[in-house]
Homo-oligomer: A and B are copies of this chain.
Amino acid sequence: MKAFVTVNLKAGVLDPQGKAIGHALNNLGFDGVTNVRAGKVFELDLATSDAVLARTQAEEMARKLLANTVIESFKVEIAA
């Protein structure tokens, strides 16, 4: 079963990578872009076929390794 963990900087935390991408898009002529935030997504293949267990495991992994919860928030989605 697949789990998708999306990790983003918390609101209020400066995102220089996102800012740079935003400027680059503006310079390419995409004037309608007002703000960009860059994040990460991890696609995990899990041995379990129990969706509830998969979610619990993925959240634990996010807290322990995938996200720095001081400055980042994460979201877990489970797919079949």
Contacts and interface: CB of A to CB of B under 8 A. Distances in A.
Given A57-B30, A65-B25, A42 B46 contact: no
Contact of A34 (B34, B41, B46): B46
Interface in A14-63: 18, 21, 24-25, 28, 30-48, 57, 60-61
Question: For the complex formed by this chain, how many copies does it contain in all?
Answer: 2
B6 A32 contact: no
B64 A21 contact: no
A8 B43 CA distance: 9
Nearest to A60: B30
Interface of A: 6, 8, 18, 21, 24-25, 28, 30-48, 57, 60-61, 64-66
